[in-house]
Amino acid sequence: MAALSFDNIVKRYGVGPKANQVIHGINAEIEAGEFIVIVGPSGCGKSTLLRMVAGLEEISGGTMRLGDKVINDLEPSERDMAMVFQNYALYPHMSVYDNMAYGLRIAKVSEADIRTRVDEAARMLELQPYLQRKPRELSGGQRQRVAMGRAIVRQPKVFLFDEPLSNLDAKLRAQTRLEIQKLHQRLRITSLFVTHDQVEAMTLAQRMIVMNAGRVEQIGTPEQVYNTPASTFVASFIGSPPMNLLRHAPSATVGHITGIRPEHLDITPGQGWALQVEACELLGAERLVYCRWANATGDALHDSLIVRCDEATPAPAVGSLLHATPRSDKLHRFDAASGLRII
């Protein structure tokens, strides 16, 4: 494993004044053995950044280091990294064993060493019963484990995951997330994991790089990003449901946006903020109440917001007036012009 460093990394397509810049000066220091999740909406540049790390995209500006070595101009095969793709990229005519062994054979590793590495990875990923099967005989989750096994046997310095769970159903995604967590705890290999799913980011990351439009919005642990978002973008992107961002709350001041998480609004009958109920959702152990700001006569105005409460709370009728009080120590302030955090 090795540390990875980004120093003002830039990506442009084309040259001259008509060049399209898609990555705008990324700076980050990733420690050896750290599991980093790069998260952001589609088109924000996260996969492009990962492909630059892998050597599949040229770096237009800045310096990228693996340990003490500058890797800007190294070929992918010279970077000692292994990549797990969204679509598995398995050879359909080969068995599971041969898929996992293929890269080692190309590298002229002895068959005895190949057998040892493949068997170890298969035990780790519970693939021993499937080693002689073809990919078409496997489930989606098993194919993804084969793709991870193929990366593991190479014993790289860095693992790169490009949205590897997006083709799996919800149950398999949860199971595979757990497998990836256990895998990292065993191997402690520096890992970059790209996803647009903030639930994946929150559950997998030791630290997160939140990207937006080719720029880094915030780097921090899941707790730091959730509890102290650096901008309105991070506040609205991280969290399910997202943070309420209000321009018309009584606690707001001119030029500021007030933020409050749905779980930090307490229902307080007859006092607090007056909200008109628009819809309710029961999600097992919790209930989400969708509201809109109401004026003194109860007419719905301005900001929409969500109140999260437990399932024991009776569902208010649609159109009724609900009163809720924000926890004062959980209020956030953002600059209305820049969207950046104030407190």
340 falls within a domain: no
104 falls within a domain: yes
pLDDT of amino acid 252: 57
Asked whether residue 200 falls in the same domain as residue 219, the answer is yes
pLDDT of amino acid 301: 57
Q: Percent of the chain having pLDDT more than 70? A: 95
pLDDT of amino acid 183: 84
131 falls within a domain: yes
Asked whether residue 162 falls in the same domain as residue 138, the answer is no
The overall average pLDDT reported for the chain is 90
268 falls within a domain: yes
Please provide the size of the chain in residues: 343
Asked whether residue 54 falls in the same domain as residue 109, the answer is no
pLDDT of amino acid 1: 65
Range of the domain at 110: 94-146
pLDDT in tens, 224-274: 999 999 999 999 999 989 999 988 766 656 678 999 999 999 999 889 898
d(CA 228, CA 216): 15
Asked whether residue 50 falls in the same domain as residue 20, the answer is yes
Provide the token pair at 106.
Answer: 């190309």
Q: Say how many Å lie between the first and final Cα of the chain, rounded.
A: 37
Asked whether residue 33 falls in the same domain as residue 69, the answer is yes
Provide the token pair at 122.
Answer: 């298969």
What mean pLDDT is predicted for residues 64-87? Answer: 91
The count of structural domains within the chain is 3
Asked whether residue 198 falls in the same domain as residue 163, the answer is yes
Asked whether residue 221 falls in the same domain as residue 322, the answer is no
pLDDT of amino acid 298: 46
Asked whether residue 41 falls in the same domain as residue 130, the answer is no
Asked whether residue 209 falls in the same domain as residue 160, the answer is yes
35 falls within a domain: yes
Output the domain CATH number for residue 43: 3.40.50.300
Asked whether residue 331 falls in the same domain as residue 282, the answer is yes
* Strand ranges for the chain from DSSP E: 4-13, 20-30, 35-39, 61-66, 69-70, 81-84, 158-162, 190-195, 207-212, 215-220, 244-246, 256-260, 265-267, 273-283, 286-294, 300-310, 321-326, 332-335
Output the domain CATH number for residue 294: 2.40.50.140
Asked whether residue 217 falls in the same domain as residue 251, the answer is no
pLDDT in tens, 267-309: 998 898 989 999 999 988 899 999 998 765 444 456 889 999 9
In contact, 50 and 76? CB cutoff 8 Å: no
pLDDT of amino acid 254: 64
324: nearest Cα among 226, 244, 241: 244
What mean pLDDT is predicted for residues 75-96? Answer: 88
pLDDT in tens, 168-224: 788 878 888 888 888 888 889 999 999 999 889 999 999 999 999 999 999 999 999
What mean pLDDT is predicted for residues 129-141? Answer: 91
Asked whether residue 254 falls in the same domain as residue 164, the answer is no
**pTM beyond 0.85, yes or no:** yes
pLDDT in tens, 192-207: 999 999 889 999 999 9
pLDDT of amino acid 299: 47
